[in-house]
Amino acid sequence: TQLLEQSPQFLSIQEGENLTVYCNSSSVFSSLQWYRQEPGEGPVLLVTVVTGGEVKKLKRLTFQFGDARKDSSLHITAAQPGDTGLYLCAGERLGNQGGKLIFGQGTELSVKP
């Protein structure tokens, strides 16, 4: 059972388009993180959201944590080829011990010039 469901799993768009990636769960999370992974490398943290309803911006990327802390979204404005990669959401469950995270399946984004 996947506790964090990401959609879509694959996304192929043209440079300049906007896109949104979703990360949904029936569980409540203390916090949620988004990572980006390039081919041949490990994931790298983009952002952590902690408060329900929180919105964070990182240049053209906007991250939102749902009010109930069960879901999150990543919106990219005017995508560029350099945004190509695997985007992973990861949640820290309530009462978690040890710093364990639950990862979604990932969204494979391809931005064509």
Distance CA 75, CA 29 (A): 20
Does 41 contact other proteins by CB under 8 A? yes
Does 58 contact other proteins by CB under 8 A? no
Does 24 contact other proteins by CB under 8 A? no
**Contact at 8 Å (CB) between 10 and 108?**
yes
Nearer to other proteins, 66 or 106 (CB): 106
Using CA atoms, how far residue 103 sits from 15, 52, 100, in Å, is: 28, 19, 10
φ, ψ of residue 37 in degrees (nearest 5):
-125, 125
Could you tell me the smallest distance in angstroms from the CB atom of residue 70 to other proteins?
18
φ, ψ of residue 13 in degrees (nearest 5):
-135, 170
Run of H or E including 34: strand 29-37
Does 64 contact other proteins by CB under 8 A? no
Does 45 contact other proteins by CB under 8 A? yes
Residue from 7, 8, 9, 53 in contact with other proteins (CB under 8 A): 9
Could you tell me the smallest distance in angstroms from the CB atom of residue 75 to other proteins?
21
Distance CA 94, CA 113 (A): 42
Q: Which residues here bind other proteins, judged by CB under 8 A?
A: 2, 4, 6, 9, 31, 33, 40-45, 48, 88, 90, 92, 98-101, 103-106
